[in-house]
Amino acid sequence: MDTMTPSTSMPVSMGTSIIAVTFNGGVILGADSRTSTGNYIANRVTDKITPLCDNVYTLRSGSAADTQAIAGYVQHFIAQHQAEEGDQITVKTVANLVKMMAYNNKDFLQAGLIVAGFDKHGGGQVYSISLGGTLTATPFAMSGSGSTYVNGFCDKNWREGMSEAEAMDFVTRALKYAMTWDASSGGCIRTVTITAAGVKRQFIQGGLIPPTYGELPREQVVA
Amino acid sequence: MSGIGTGYDLSATTYSPDGKIFQTEYAQKAVDNSSTVIGLRCKDGVVLACEKLVLSKLLVEGSNRRIHNVDRHVGVAVAGLAPDGRMVANRAWDEASSYKRVYGEPIPGHVLCERVGSYVHMFNLYWSLRPYGATLLLATYDKNGPALYAVDPSGSSLRYFGTAVGKGRQAAKNEIEKLKLAEMSCREAVVEAVKILHKVHDEDGKKFELEVSWICDESNKQHQRVPAELLADAERQAKAALEDSDMDD
């Protein structure tokens, strides 16, 4: 039985946990780092948080190829827009561009994206673009296979106007639970914080993620 | 018939020896001979006002529109050949509509101005087309605030605090320079605009109508015709001001 060979005929998908929240002063985007091809984890340190422009990032879930392609096109359209407009592009406009791609090519794509960023007119904003190309604006959003396990947690613990530290705690705890329960999510936690001051990336190594209730302590990575 | 540009003015693709394109200059003349149009950018918005000569008693009041809506937040006033201006205004409408469709937000004033300017300029490049004989005054109010732009037949577009085009433009501009627009509200500017148009109107006995529009905080940042009572009140004040100055003479 060929159980050890990786199945290269299966699509590379990001069974994923991704979340973005607005807080008092900006947004935080968070994601796990697992990309799977069937049962094989093709990449256990994936970066699913992709910049579209200086002030707007996107979280990618679904087909890795499809989301990378969409991100590439949108980066190009943003550059075109900036050449004419001059002023920094708004988060809403970026989200609209992503939606156009997803909606106009809905028959060919399998992509769930969350677009989040900061602009001087609207502050921190989060937009969700789901499979068919629906665009929704919400104070926080989560997506991917792992998000289903933390719907209750997020609803219960989300608050309006959190501080950056509170929002970071919320994001990392939500991802921790999602990664515990979802087989397609795991690895380490990556976050990106976007405020008026700029962009800050953070990384929590898998071994340093606190275990959930009932879990055995995780093994530290041997240096 | 020999005129100033004889020999060099037959097509828009011919320069004169002193570096002019006469077709463009002639198009500009079409604007200079039309009735006056002024635009005023105040602290809370923009006012556009057109003087319209009523050519026939048979025309319904309010016909021969010179001010067009391009989008909710953009209005355009036309000076010069009215049909030409209408074509350019339609193009502006197309640009605004496609921008909204692609980028999901209303077109910013400076982007629309650039696009209209490029479009009008194109008609100065080819032998087979004639330049538009119209100047457009664009009144816009976007997330960066209110702005007034003017696009002339050569395609050059400039941003203004206040400007006038047409027959009475010199006299009108003199009056506009006296105004403190940065401190004025649109409500006050409407009255001033109407006064100016009455003052610079050629006293050749022809009846004339006014078409005045604004886009300001009071109109909810939407381009619309000025409320009828405000216009009537402004006309009253304008006529009174003229009589006063007549009595002084």
In a domain, A5, yes or no: no
Contacts of A85 in chain B (CB under 8 A): 108, 111
Determine the Cα–Cα distance for residues B249 and B238; give it in Å rounded to an integer: 17
Residue A137 is predicted with a pLDDT of 97
Determine the Cα–Cα distance for residues A97 and A146; give it in Å rounded to an integer: 26
| A60-85 average pLDDT score | 93
In a domain, A7, yes or no: no
Residue B118 is predicted with a pLDDT of 97
Q: Helix or strand or coil: residue A70?
A: helix
Q: Maximum distance among all alpha carbons in chain B?
A: 59
pLDDT tens across A177-203, in order? Answer: 999 999 899 999 999 999 999 999 999
Q: Do A84 and B111 touch (CB under 8 A)?
A: yes
In a domain, A135, yes or no: yes
Residue B5 is predicted with a pLDDT of 74
Domain that holds residue A112: 12-222
Residue A219 is predicted with a pLDDT of 66
A215 pLDDT more than 90: no
Residue tagged active-site, from A3, A5, A8, A16: A16
**Which of B104, B110, B114 has its CB closest to that of A93?**
B104
Q: Do A87 and B108 touch (CB under 8 A)?
A: yes
**Which of B104, B110, B111 has its CB closest to that of A92?**
B104
Contact indicator for B49, B165 with CB cutoff of 8 Å: no
Q: Do B114 and A87 touch (CB under 8 A)?
A: no
Q: Do A93 and B114 touch (CB under 8 A)?
A: no
Q: Do A87 and B102 touch (CB under 8 A)?
A: no
In a domain, A2, yes or no: no
Q: Do B105 and A92 touch (CB under 8 A)?
A: yes
Residue A146 binned pLDDT confidence (cut-offs 50, 70, 90): very high
A37-51, A205-219, B59-73, B121-135, range with the lowest pLDDT: A205-219
Contacts of A97 in chain B (CB under 8 A): 102-104
Residue A64 binned pLDDT confidence (cut-offs 50, 70, 90): confident
Instruction: Please give the residue of chain A at the shortest CA–CA distance from B109.
Output: A85
Total of domains in chain A: 1
In a domain, A4, yes or no: no
Which residues of chain A have a Cβ shorter than 8 Å from any chain B Cβ? Answer: 77, 81, 84-87, 90, 92-93, 95-97, 99-100, 121
CA atoms in the 13 A half-sphere facing the CB of B12: 21
Give yes or no for B166 touching A (CB within 8 A): no
Residues 102-161 of B with CB under 8 A from A: 102-105, 108, 110-111, 114, 143-144
pLDDT tens across B55-71, in order? Answer: 888 999 888 899 999 99
Residues 80-109 of B with CB under 8 A from A: 102-105, 108
Residue B4 is predicted with a pLDDT of 73
For chain B, what is the HEC assignment? CCCCCCCCCCCCCCCCCCCCCHHHHHHHHHHHCCCCEEEEECCCEEEEEEEEECCCCCCCCCCCCCEEEEECCEEEEEEECHHHHHHHHHHHHHHHHHHHHHHCCCCCHHHHHHHHHHHHHHCCCCCCCCCCCEEEEEEEEECCEEEEEEECCCCCEEEECEEEECCCHHHHHHHHHHCCHHHCCHHHHHHHHHHHHHHHCCCCCCCEEEEEEEEECCCCCCCEECCHHHHHHHHHHHHHHHHHHHHHC
A11 pLDDT more than 80: no
| Number of CB pairs, chain A paired with chain B, less than 8 A apart | 26
Contacts of A93 in chain B (CB under 8 A): 103-105
CA atoms in the 13 A half-sphere facing the CB of A134: 6
Q: What angle do CA A204, A209, A211 make, to 5 degrees?
A: 175
Which residues have C-beta within 8 Å of that of residue A24, sequence separation ≥ 6?
A161, A162, A163, A164
Shortest CA gap A126–chain B (Å): 16
Percent of chain A with pLDDT over 70: 90
| A109-128 average pLDDT score | 95
DSSP summary character for residue A205: -
Shortest CA gap B97–chain A (Å): 15
Residue B168 is predicted with a pLDDT of 93
Q: How far is CA B78 from CA B4, B49, B150, B156, B167, in A?
A: 27, 10, 10, 15, 13
Residue B28 is predicted with a pLDDT of 96
A16 is catalytic: yes
Q: CA quadruple B25, B30, B36, B41: dihedral positive or negative?
A: negative
Contacts of B103 in chain A (CB under 8 A): 81, 93, 96-97
Residue B223 is predicted with a pLDDT of 96
Contacts of B143 in chain A (CB under 8 A): 121
In a domain, A6, yes or no: no
Average pLDDT of chain B is 93
Shortest CA gap A191–chain B (Å): 28
Determine the Cα–Cα distance for residues A195 and B184; give it in Å rounded to an integer: 37
Shortest CA gap B128–chain A (Å): 29
Residue A208 is predicted with a pLDDT of 86
Residue A150 belongs to a domain with what CATH number? 3.60.20.10
Tens of pLDDT along chain B (249 residues) come to 457 778 899 999 999 999 999 999 999 999 999 999 999 999 999 999 999 998 888 999 888 899 999 999 999 999 999 999 999 999 999 999 999 998 988 999 999 999 999 999 999 999 999 999 999 999 999 999 999 999 999 999 999 999 999 999 999 999 999 999 999 999 999 999 999 999 998 877 778 899 999 999 999 999 999 999 999 999 999 999 888 877 665
ipTM of the complex: 0.75
